[in-house]
Amino acid sequence: MAGISNREIALETLIEILEHGQFSHIYLKAVLDKYSYLDKNERAFINRLVNGTVERKVQLDYIIDSFSKTKAKKMKPLIRTIMRMGVYEIFYMDAVPDSATCNEYVKLAKKRGFAGLSGFVNGVLRNISRNKDKIEFKELGVKYSIPQWLVDKWTKDYGVDEAEAIMAGFLEPQDLCVRVNTSKITREDLVENLEKSGVKVHICDSLDSALYISGYDSLASLDAFKKGLFYVQDYSSQLVPKLAGVKATDHIIDVCSAPGGKALHCGELASDGLVVARDLTDAKVSLIQENINRTGATNVTAVKWDATVLDEDAVRKYDIVIADLPCSGLGIIRKKPDIKYNQTEDTLAELVALQGQILDTVCEYVKDGGVLCYSTCTINKDENENQVEHFLSSHKDFKMEKMTQLLPDREHDGFFICVMKKN
């Protein structure tokens, strides 16, 4: 599209995410892929402006509402998005002076057919810029840009201090975590390979399979990625096979597997065993298969199956059943910032019911003496500790072996893992 600016690309993207409900992590990736011909710094600008505006939406609206007679929720969607972007740049980006930022968004309003509101955009943004050092965020929800019902829930579950630490953790910057494909390369050799490609590498001290990388243009441009020498996989996700105790000869089923990271990790560890990686749709199974092909796994099979439906042929067949189930995602708000705006108390209750249904079904696949490893990427106790308590109360043939709740910080996101052994 000739003549489109980086801010206009960000504007179009944000309207799709914040006004039309597109998932931020999926839609933004597609946009950045579409504009892959842009300079690395230009794409980084778009990425930061979009993610930052979504991440700080509650706070941005608070600022706008403090200076505008027309509140953010009453504005036309395009003007509301322009205002949010402008305020985000004024507060959190320093690529250009505030005066130039204001000019850019006035121009953008005019270009998109809102010349009549360009004076409004200009006046409010400049007033905010002049007074930005005087603005205070006294409420936790505004300070950390979290909907109030979640602030109340986390405060109840964790206490005020821990809840604030959780919310602060979501705003901590984080490098990309990857897992070394040890069937192809050692961690030391991969570090050397990546550094020669200009990638910054930070070694994870607590997991010998994990590295943190930054400073690259795109994953697709890295030879090590194309050759399957590493796999993008969160720290917490890499913990699952470790805590589940995967052994070389184990037979393992991952019942909600896409994109397949844990299944592939298990396949490396169960070198003389086998892994069945299942998911609900053709698209998800294709994604698993794509990653199997790229990493060269020979003992992992991708299969389409609804985890709520009992597979009679799988009953008591597996040493380890991995159940990383659909959840609210409230532990990975840093990666998917729109999650905090899209979840409700009703959707949480629906997810708890679905998790219970799946656990009741897939626990049948565990051999006597085998393990059921339940995990989620949330910090919601109803989906985690309370879900496990309910499961164990109705399945007396299982006992809890280990349980851990990770809370978000610089190294990892919020994640829950519980390993239960069948008698």
377 has catalytic annotation: yes
Helices H, strands E: what count in the chain? 18, 11
Kindly list the distances between the CA atom of residue 350 and the CA atoms of 100, 343, 345, in Å, as whole numbers in the listed order: 47, 11, 9
The answer for 74, left when phi > 0, alpha when psi is -120 to 50, beta otherwise, is alpha
* Given the residues 204, 256, 363, 377, the one annotated as active site: 377
- Both tokens of 328, joined, read 């609210």
b/e per residue, 64-73, with b = 16+ CB within 10 A?
beebbebebe
Which has the closest alpha carbon to 191: 181, 201, 182? 201
3-state secondary structure of 377: coil
Asked whether the beta carbons of 365 and 320 are under 8 A apart, the reply is: no
- CA gap 175, 200 in Å, rounded: 10
**335-374: b (≥16 Cβ within 10 Å) or e:** bbbbbbbebeeeebeebbebbbebbebbbebbeeebbbbb
Helix (H) or strand (E) holding 314: none
What does DSSP say about strands 176-180 and 200-203: parallel, antiparallel, or unpaired? unpaired
**Residue bearing tokens 């946009």:** 31
Q: Output DSSP code: residue 212.
A: E
Asked if 167 and 151 touch (Cβ cutoff 8 Å), the reply is yes
Helix (H, G, I), strand (E, B) or coil at 36: coil
Contact 340, 150 (CB under 8 A): yes
Q: What residue type is assigned to position 215 of the chain?
A: G
Query: Annotated active-site positions, please?
Result: 377
